[in-house]
Structure 1
Amino acid sequence: MEKFSENLLFSGRWEHGKECSRTSAPAAMVEFNASAKLLEFELEGEARFRLDEDGKQIAVIETGARNVYKVKTAGGAHRYRLIKISESNPGGISLYKVSTDKAGSFAPPPKHTNRRIEFIGDSFTVGYGVDGKLGDPDSFVFKATNASKSYAFLLADGFKADFQVNAFSGRGLVRNYDNIVPEWTISRLYEYTVPGLAESDLAGGITDTDLRYDFDSFHPQVIVLFIGINDFQGNPPYANKDDYKKAYVKLLEKLRSAHPGVRFLLVSTKVWPNDDLTPTVKSIYESQLAAGKKDLEFIEVRTDNVALHGHPDEHSQAELARTLRPVVGKLGRWLSR
């Protein structure tokens, strides 16, 4: 990276190269402190970003071909955050530079907190379609998806925690919705730093090994797993329950090994037509307890799926965050005293 990266705090999974930083994660974020009347972002890749000034949205930037995107600010010293609110699945974006106007300057960057949380999930966790309505056309997906309104971002932001959102719309643990791209399930995508680029073969000469995620780069204290909706929904055949359970337990063990002392929240919800997800996840939870595991909790949630393509709307995402907050706070020992 160029020197400008020294002024930036990155959240989410990013791959940092010599010329740019790349990501495909929803809610991937860059924070910085600056005094400027104008900010410039050199970006490449199809995405939508929300720019906040002191926590309040001041712009939405829609990107495509490599370009410098300029945003006027209030002037004076402020804390900014650039949040990737769209999904790249497959695909990704490249950030080449963040700069101020000639009279502007950067201050030392924000610092990491002592709270770290990770979310692994699907479209519900992405914030897919949250700004849309049930009957909106399919073409509205890009503008209706907003990861900054997902329960995951709201929870992390509320706890002022460092975070990762590793979520993929339409993907399941062992079987994707309607069996789309069956070779690219969550189980496989999760292994990559920039999974959207790995899947789309847009890595530009970087080897598969180079793209693999370094699990030592971020050690969450709490991991929220909300996975399986797509394994058991859509057109059949659905996932084999035993295969799903084996993959789920394998993921738990992998995460325990990578992050000693981590604690888990297993989340489930009603799915159609058979409502197979909740009893399956609950049986995993009960088996873990019976095996002496004391590092996890289970919760079933209900949402009003009135947003695009039957997904939670803004109100329902916020309510979901409120529902999960006390359980996550207990697991992370972050409850207010």
Structure 2
Amino acid sequence: MMKVKLSVLPALILASLSLMLVALCPVHAYAAASYKISGYIAPDFKFNESQAAVLKSGFTAELAGTSFKAQTDIEGFFSISGIPETTSGTLVIKKSGYLARNISFTNIKSDISIGPKEGPVDIWPGDIDASGVINMSDIILMAGSFNAVKEDSKYNESCDFNLNGAINMEDVLFVAKRFGNTSENYPAAKLVMTTPSATPTPSSPSGTPGIRYDGRFDFTNPQSPKFAWTGSSIVANFSGTEVSATLKSTGENWFQAIVDGKVMTPFMVNSQSTVKLASGLTNGEHQIVLWKRTEASQGEVQFLGFNFGSGKLLAPPPAPERKIEFIGDSITCAYGNEGTSKDQPFTPKNENSYLSYAAITARSLNASANFIAWSGIGITMNYGGAGGQLIQDRYLMTLPQSGVQWDFKKYIPHAVVINIGTNDFSTVTPDKTKFINNYKALISKIRTNYPDAHIFCTIGPMMWGSGLESCKSYVTDVVNDFKSKGDLKVYMMEYPQQSETNGYGEDWHPSLKTHQLMADQLTKEIKTKLGW
């Protein structure tokens, strides 16, 4: 028997315990530091805001030889995260019809930003055959589709760089501008290194899976919320290769899905239906936006959920900090804006609020928006003296057909844009006192709910003649009354009368081009007044 001194026993016991703990307890491996590469991308030619979502989206940014990749959203933004520390490689930016751009980096030890929003990385159109050079092969392909429109069999979307549905001299000039260039001819991109705000820690979930709802929603049943107002949207991030949505509609409602910034073909729901929004996606993280194109008068909708197949729901994207509320009639609803003639009657399919002046303005300002609009509505009378509630009554509602009231504390906008009065002057001139008093009461209600909001009282662009002059005079009196009492955040703004040269939508309503012009004017005005 081995004899051990008592004085040695404590040390032996501690050593034995330590060995036992090592054997019994797992070693905790901490995740290595990782970083992200992000930035903004845009085509190397001028385009207007109505084209921006389609033209900026769909670029692929990937690390060559790896599975790290992302697609740009409607603002041209991409973000690739989880890149291990000390990685060196080449970021390849590409899209069908464009000359791939290669941006190299070495020994990554921080987040990398390329191309800020105000100065995105340019990508050159013209490499139709994806050979890495813009040459005669591309000209030959262009010639084979020249003068083709979208409906023609020889139409090749890769040659239609501005996506206007026609391959013409404008597209040829894009190729000519960069003829003979290869990917090596791109100027060096500026890489901005961003030091992380804290030491990297073991990986953890980025957030709780969930869905973001933009607009007025009734959550009486939290699992199946209801909504009605135009422009209401449902936003989610998910991982997987597909996404479907189940909706229940009380009328003919049209929707727009935007997947990873790509605007998909609109679809209609008039009962309960499950619709495949996207399939065959690359197996990774994606974003879905489900947008209600049609107005509240088309009926209420109940959202019964997304289905991601074998994929899963992730944490939703954060809501924009800037907020705008729009109050209006058919103009704000985008009534018939996708129609092609003033002689066409209204069709729900051609009402696209995603391309309304209001929605374009909100996207231009990186703001969320609530849209409270109803075709034919007025503030003293509806179109042609029709019955029904006036705007100041419907403004109070979450679900205007069911009478569910809205809680104004749920959404406090920085700016409120009113476009009302066109229907009041549709057949006769309304009583001036009644119009002014009703308008002032609406603004007072807004001011009570939103003490600091900037309020824009706008008129046009459908009015003309004496009706326009009277409406302008009445609204000016309203605005001046508030200013005289010290409220200097109430403004008057007039849109120019719509022009035949810009086309008309259905029933003489503003065309897509007119909506764009309105958005340009309003965006500039809001930027000036709010300093955005």
> So what's the TM-score if we normalise by structure 2?
0.57
Alignment partners' CA distance in 2, 1:262 and 1:135: 36
1:153-189 deviation line (CA, Å, top 9, x unaligned): 00111112121011111101121001222x3111111
Secondary structure at 1:309's aligned position in 2? helix
Correspondence for 2:493 among 290, 299, 302: 299
The DSSP-based 3-state class of the residue aligned with 1:89 is helix
2:437 corresponds in structure 1 to 246
Deviation string 1:14-52 (CA, Å, 9 cap, x unpaired) is 111325211111111111111232211110112110000
Distance between the aligned counterparts of 1:165 and 1:185, measured in 2?
A: 16
The corresponding residue for 1:112 is 319
Q: Equivalents in 2 of 1:293, 1:37: separation in Å?
A: 52
1:317 aligned to 2:515? Answer: yes
Q: Given that residues 257 and 263 in structure 2 are in contact (C-alpha distance below 8 angstroms), is that contact kept between their aligned partners in structure 1?
A: yes
Q: Does 1:229 align with 2:411?
A: no
2:236 is equivalent to residue 32 of structure 1: yes
For residues 204-234 of structure 1, what are the alpha-carbon distances to aligned partners after superposition, in whole Å with 9 as ceiling and x for unaligned?
Answer: xxxx5xx11101110001001111111111x
* Amino acid paired to 1:254: K
- The letter for the 1-side match of 2:453 is V
Q: TM-score, normalised to structure 1's length?
A: 0.88
Evaluate the alpha carbon distance shift between residue 34 and residue 245 of structure 1 in structure 2; reply closer, same or farther with a 3 A threshold.
Answer: same
Q: How many residues align?
A: 313
User: Is contact 1:264–1:331 with CA below 8 Å preserved after alignment?
Assistant: no
Query: With CA pairs under 8 Å and 6+ residues apart, which has the higher RCO, 1 or 2?
Result: 1
1:279 Cα offset (Å): 1.6
Paired residue for 1:22, among 226, 237, 252?
226
CA, structure 1 residues 179+283, in 2 after alignment: closer, same or farther (shift >3 Å)? same
- Match of 2:357? 151
After TM superposition, the structure 1 = structure 2 runs for residues 113-128 of structure 1, keeping only pairs within 5 Å, are 113-128=320-335
The counterpart of 1:91, out of the listed 288, 291, 299, is 299
**Shift in Å at residue 239 of structure 1?**
2.5
Match of 1:263 among 454, 459, 465: 454
Matches of residues 73-222 of structure 1 in structure 2 within 5 Å? 73=279, 74-75=281-282, 76-89=284-297, 91-101=299-309, 103-138=310-345, 140-181=346-387, 183-195=388-400, 197-198=401-402, 208=403, 211-222=404-415
- Which protein shows a greater Rg? 2
Give a deviation string over 1:78-135, Cα, whole Å, max 9, x none. 221111001131521111111211x211221011222011000111111110000234
Query: Comparing 86-95 with 255-264, which one deviates more in the overlay?
Result: 86-95
- Write the letter of the residue equivalent to 1:322: D
- Pick from 256, 259, 280: which aligns with 2:474? 280
Matched position secondary structure for 1:7:
coil
The one-letter code of the counterpart of 1:294 is: L
Query: Which residue does the alignment assign to 2:180?
Result: none
CA RMSD across the alignment: 1.8
Cα deviation, residue 254, structure 1 = 1.1
Q: 1:47 aligns with which of 250, 253, 258?
A: 253
SS, match of residue 476 in structure 2: helix
1:135 and 1:284 map into 2 onto residues whose CA distance is 32
In 1, Cα distance between equivalents of 2:410 and 2:529: 21
Distance 1:55 1:159 in 2: 17
Q: Distance in 2 between matches of 1:61 and 1:136?
A: 24
Secondary structure of 2:317 counterpart: coil
2: CA distance, partners of 1:143 / 1:36 = 30
> Amino acid of the residue matched to residue 286 of structure 1?
N
| Offset, 1:143 | 1.1
Contact (CA 8 Å) 1:51, 1:83: kept in 2 or not? yes
Letter of the aligned partner of 2:410 in structure 1?
S
Structure 2 unpaired stretches of 5+: 1-207
